[in-house]
Structure 1
């Protein structure tokens, strides 16, 4: 019986570990040739065994030349160091022939160390390496350190022939060769074209050269750490601004799923479990891109593979960002948790096909999406850049079909071909340079013609503002608001864009504090050329603010578009943003009355936008960071770059692409892409709860049910226990009636459907009422604790005195610019007295 139970236990143990073994099993290549060239015996590299190339069925060469060098001359510190001790040298065209058992994609890895081997100085070797269909490599300008060149080739025949062809009187050489099968699903047939003119299908048949394979935020990975024996290098040396990036590691958080797109063969857990992210410190003002730059060869397309895995978030749908390749949008509002089957830690990748490169560098960047401005972050786990073969099937510049040869050719023919290829290549490069210069000139001309000075005097006259350095008038706040400002005047006002004068950073660019020649303080917003917010937002901001004049809207003083700059100049708001006074900046806390007055002022500004003209203007980016405060804490709505003119009289909405800030975005607008004024109302409702609770609208560090402020606050509001979650500095300082009215107003703003939300005018009435309830005690009104003033205040107007009625009439009119002077307290003084009810 003892043996019986021992066998049963062993059987159960085997069954229990079998799924784990199956899941973790590495790819076993059908074809697996590992050759140590020039060696006389096998060489072990890690767990792999490289055999000598002395098999005549494998190698065909005119001269059997083996060369050796001392390991002391090899500067490589990697595991493959022993492979560079020997080399096979060729004085004429020579071939390695590999029998292929399984057709399809194969790695071809070529190892070179251009050093001195006995009597051969291989640093001057000039040769090409080709297959039956592709020229893979040419030894021009080889570096003096050991190098491994990796190619991925689709093999369609029973043999793969590698031909080494010396040029002229030179020699060819190779230290080691790998020919290894690749999983069928490693390269899929379709990618995403970054340029509409580019065809992104047919990738399976492409010959690819691995130019860069990078482990973002992680260490170097050698073949021993990778199921496909790949090498991954760290990303720090490629970062343009390392201080903008930070690393994160959570390798245990990686979950390969059968339904997932990526497998361990796509990239190992050490790649997907480490990442580089924005070094934003959760500061919403830190809106920028993290950018890497890589050297590439012009004249080729590139397959760029971006690896993503959200191992940093604590909840779904929190991390939303954009990715860019050479300033082209490669991934828009990417949400790794959604793409990865609504789960965190599930890896996936995105393949992108570039247009033919005309530059020697390629840039990859990540940055926050417009949908997530208030928790700005973006990640990248890994990156692969692979050169694609040209129209002739080759991977070296200027190589035509004549360069692919399976037999020997005369040295004279080789020289003629070389010269011809060189001449053709020079002509092509010259043509490309000419086309680029012409395109750049046209672009500059277009940009310089994009803006015309904003005109005055009914468009009959335009003026240009100057400074003491120009012939124009002196720039001052008293000048006409519609003047264009010279760049030299902006430089003077900002002390030549002194970095110590920066007071904020947004999606458009940096904001500098400035001072005009008359001593007036201004805020100067300078567009960042790398920002994805550009010309459209610049134009919209000018067009909108040049029309509006309201006490609760930030005033535009001028703009500058010289030297391809996009600069906006506003009145300076001494106290900064409302958000800065609520949390995160260490500023003194605001009283409840101050908060109510700020909300009221903001509501007045938005109500003016919605009703002050024949067609409503929808702000589309209402949030606490866009509500600015002057020295007296008076609120002014700012940032009109995303604003949109509302629907026509006979329409109910405007159909437009979704834009806004994550956490504030109207869910109905997001679902239907139909914009109305009620989208601003929803965003303002989020602001109201933000003012009350003094916490970010999205905070991934909190428990899941608390991450989204609007959802969390609504639950407490509907339970009638809103006082449980208010800012602790306000505890015991808000009258219950005022808090209840404020909570009811915010709840109405956050209704699922726009038709159920109040207008901004109704919101304004209720906020004024909440302020009045805070400042006075209502007596003799049993209904006060349940009355919802939204939609019920208008009939009360007839009970007001004549002055109040006049004020209300003035407030409702659309012909006056500034309605902020209306004293709503006079109106509500009637409501807080029993005899007035």
Structure 2
């Protein structure tokens, strides 16, 4: 008894001395347990002291004392850390019981390095680690290099029990352990959500595992530099395209301001470095800087961005967008005015990513579309933290028993402690359940080959299989022919109104159509992944009764084509046309750069650019879309598909598809917008049958003003037309490598709009001397007798 008292007294003394030593760090933890497992002496690591294993023996309950030591002179992975020289081996279920002086969030850091000690080859160890409320690890093993597992738990009781449970016929081991208080406010209860955008409440009771903690643009930040003894690793290995990024450093400029980050949030060495867009390829290129991280599927993740504008020389100089996966989470972010009107203010943003089925998580920053903004974007630091699932587990082995997304958003109460036997039973039951569901799903797919789960939808598609056929019959007045608003290769398009009053466009497949099952599936797969202001939204689909029906948001103003020629609709102004082209370019730019892989539309044309009630353009019809080439490939070899008059000649002859094929087609659309005539009109004389060839001749002569839409005569500024013609010409380059990226096209179109809207001092904006003059009668445009005013692509 007396010996136990003396040991407890010594532990308290050591911890008190250590707490005094770290007052200079700015944070003094109430609870601060640091144990060097297996060691017979205290171990100094930086400015911290890990106490000897025997001094902490009163904290441990274990069936057998097995203290291991390696005689290696150095540990190759962590040669600067002596913590990996010793370990404690657990031959049976063992518990550390820590008294908690102040409830709240605590770090748990577990250190593992496998070495061989007598008969214990620690690389063969297999075990689980749990607390009263959470499973931290299960079926865990460490094969070679050193591993630190870091967790952040909200401890509400006066003790924290950490249990190590070896698997059958195996053992567990541990080199060192930390249980340390976390500053109040480091993790708040609220965060933003990614998809759908909104607010998340309930972070405080969640257990978190630090999956990645990254210092963008800098070197490794070691624990003794961080007030909370965290390690930050460099971002270089996570960059998707390293040549697109460059590093910048200005640690001295960092300011911690009221309402923003503190030194506990992240150290100056993190906020004082950043990865930014490579200025050597800006502004000639418009691209995102992206990082990709491995994650465990089946969990929600808390993603924390760290920002500090250390690149600008004045306010309102840097605007950029921030993405998680395909979703834009912050648009037109201006770091200089977010908190206070000053540069280099440090702050962070938290986002909760809903349960993901992917083992990859991508974050990106990219240039803003604000006119006049120099294309640049930065990121200083990033933390990715796994959130416990509905069973209270953080173990990857438990991802198979994840419940629905909604259940994972509920506050997690106290979960019954998990014994290893019960744990294995639950896992096996979960696996059997998943196999059963998979078998049922395969059976359903045999019955209906077209059923594809939809990740977005309306109240009709919550069952995951789209909108009932009866609901669409009711919405379209039993597919009344008088409600038809368009006819295309896939079938007829009907205007419809769902029972909740939502206007929709219903595209009903024709069984005899050449565009069948493959296009139907592609359309659903593509649009169920994307949400973008300039991409048409898929509300749902129906594959009952052998039907193939797609349901879109209704676009009040139909197609761009219908507003240019053939329908008798009022002519649009040059500004309206430019804004529509800019919107469509944004949508295509997103497809090319905003997702994990390049998406090539393959059927860009004016009939597939739709306009809503405000003439906002949205790209539509993804039935022919295809995933682009991998990073190490130049193209995708595929059969030629698309619309004549818009087809990329390089793609047509070589059957080699790239995103530059979309750029060519968009160049044709640009001339179509300017000239207001069909891209292919066999009724015209041979030299002007093809719009692209005809317009390029006039562009190269420098006389593009001679073939513009007659309604635009006297209404376009010469420099705006010149810029517009230049970018259209570049899009139609014979070779794809000579064509600009969609980001460049977008940038130049915005500049053309800026040139059109600028006001010259002393000269009224509408002064005719600054606008394009009259057309020569002999080159007046020809119209198109085809009519189409459908609300979706046909």
Which bracket does the TM-score occupy, shorter chain normalised?
A: 0.5 to 0.7
For 2:396 and 2:659, the matched residues in 1 are separated by 47
Deviation at 1:419, TM superposition (A): 3.5
Matched, 1:445 2:523: yes
* Superposition pairs of residues 596-675 of structure 1, within 5 angstroms: 608-609=711-712, 626-628=724-726
- 2:428 equivalent among 406, 414, 419: 419
Q: Is the 8 A contact 1:167 1:415 kept in 2?
A: no
Matched, 1:765 2:769: yes
Deviation at 1:93, TM superposition (A): 1.3
* Superposition pairs of residues 43-62 of structure 1, within 5 angstroms: 43-54=43-54, 55-62=56-63
Structure 1, unaligned runs of 5 or more:
1-21, 460-479, 492-496, 501-510, 529-536, 559-567, 578-593, 613-617, 632-637, 643-658, 666-679, 689-741, 749-757, 769-806, 820-837
Corresponding residue of 1:721:
none
* Superposition pairs of residues 175-214 of structure 1, within 5 angstroms: 175-196=175-196, 200-214=200-214
Corresponding residue of 1:263:
262
* SS at structure 2 position matched to 1:363: strand
For 1:367 and 1:406, the matched residues in 2 are separated by 45
For 1:36 and 1:431, the matched residues in 2 are separated by 51
For 2:669 and 2:696, the matched residues in 1 are separated by 21
For 1:195 and 1:517, the matched residues in 2 are separated by 38
* SS at structure 2 position matched to 1:370: coil
Matched, 1:252 2:252: yes
Corresponding residue of 1:74:
75
Corresponding residue of 1:135:
135
Deviation at 1:176, TM superposition (A): 0.6
Deviation at 1:372, TM superposition (A): 5.2
Q: Deviations over 1:455-494 (max 9, x none)?
A: 99979xxxxxxxxxxxxxxxxxxxx99999xx9xx99xxx
Corresponding residue of 1:5:
none
TM value normalised by structure 1? 0.57
Corresponding residue of 1:28:
28
Q: 1:241 to 1:315 in 2, by over 3 A?
A: same
For 1:198 and 1:743, the matched residues in 2 are separated by 45
For 1:251 and 1:63, the matched residues in 2 are separated by 50
Corresponding residue of 1:702:
none
* SS at structure 1 position matched to 2:342: coil
Q: 1:250 to 1:68 in 2, by over 3 A?
A: same
Corresponding residue of 1:781:
none
Q: 1:388 to 1:373 in 2, by over 3 A?
A: farther
Deviation at 1:626, TM superposition (A): 4.0
For 1:215 and 1:324, the matched residues in 2 are separated by 18
Q: Is the 8 A contact 1:371 1:660 kept in 2?
A: no
Q: Deviations over 1:766-791 (max 9, x none)?
A: 468xxxxxxxxxxxxxxxxxxxxxxx
For 2:706 and 2:319, the matched residues in 1 are separated by 29
* SS at structure 1 position matched to 2:213: strand
For 1:115 and 1:23, the matched residues in 2 are separated by 36
Q: Deviations over 1:588-620 (max 9, x none)?
A: xxxxxx9xx99xx789969955999xxxxx99x
Q: Deviations over 1:77-99 (max 9, x none)?
A: 353x2111111111221111111
Q: 1:293 to 1:766 in 2, by over 3 A?
A: closer
Greater Cα shift, 374-383 or 196-205: 196-205
Corresponding residue of 1:91:
91
Corresponding residue of 1:549:
675
Q: Is the 8 A contact 2:675 2:708 kept in 1?
A: no
Corresponding residue of 1:165:
165
Corresponding residue of 1:739:
none
Deviation at 1:265, TM superposition (A): 1.0
Corresponding residue of 1:285:
284
* SS at structure 1 position matched to 2:370: helix
For 1:355 and 1:627, the matched residues in 2 are separated by 44
Greater Cα shift, 144-153 or 434-443: 434-443
For 1:498 and 1:167, the matched residues in 2 are separated by 45
* SS at structure 2 position matched to 1:224: helix
Greater Cα shift, 331-340 or 434-443: 434-443
Structure 2, unaligned runs of 5 or more:
1-21, 402-411, 446-450, 456-517, 528-549, 553-557, 568-604, 610-621, 627-631, 636-645, 682-690, 730-738, 784-794
Corresponding residue of 1:587:
none
Deviation at 1:63, TM superposition (A): 1.1
Corresponding residue of 1:364:
363
Corresponding residue of 1:648:
none
* SS at structure 2 position matched to 1:188: coil
Q: Which of these two proteins has the greater Rg computed from alpha carbons?
A: 1
Greater Cα shift, 273-282 or 239-248: 273-282
Q: Is the 8 A contact 1:556 1:571 kept in 2?
A: no
Deviation at 1:514, TM superposition (A): 6.3
Matched, 1:744 2:762: yes
Corresponding residue of 2:352:
353
Deviation at 1:206, TM superposition (A): 1.0
Deviation at 1:335, TM superposition (A): 1.1
- 1:684 equivalent among 756, 763, 782: 756
Q: Deviations over 1:739-798 (max 9, x none)?
A: xxx6423xx5xxxxxxxxx33xx3x32468xxxxxxxxxxxxxxxxxxxxxxxxxxxxxx
For 1:255 and 1:23, the matched residues in 2 are separated by 21
Corresponding residue of 2:298:
299
Deviation at 1:45, TM superposition (A): 0.7
Q: Deviations over 1:70-119 (max 9, x none)?
A: 2347322353x211111111122111111111111111100011232222
Deviation at 1:285, TM superposition (A): 2.7
For 2:255 and 2:560, the matched residues in 1 are separated by 57
Corresponding residue of 1:392:
391
Deviation at 1:237, TM superposition (A): 0.6
* Superposition pairs of residues 503-652 of structure 1, within 5 angstroms: 525-527=660-662, 546=672, 548-549=674-675, 608-609=711-712, 626-628=724-726
Q: 1:148 to 1:483 in 2, by over 3 A?
A: closer
Q: 1:366 to 1:162 in 2, by over 3 A?
A: same
Q: 1:278 to 1:547 in 2, by over 3 A?
A: closer
* SS at structure 2 position matched to 1:105: strand
Q: 1:627 to 1:143 in 2, by over 3 A?
A: farther
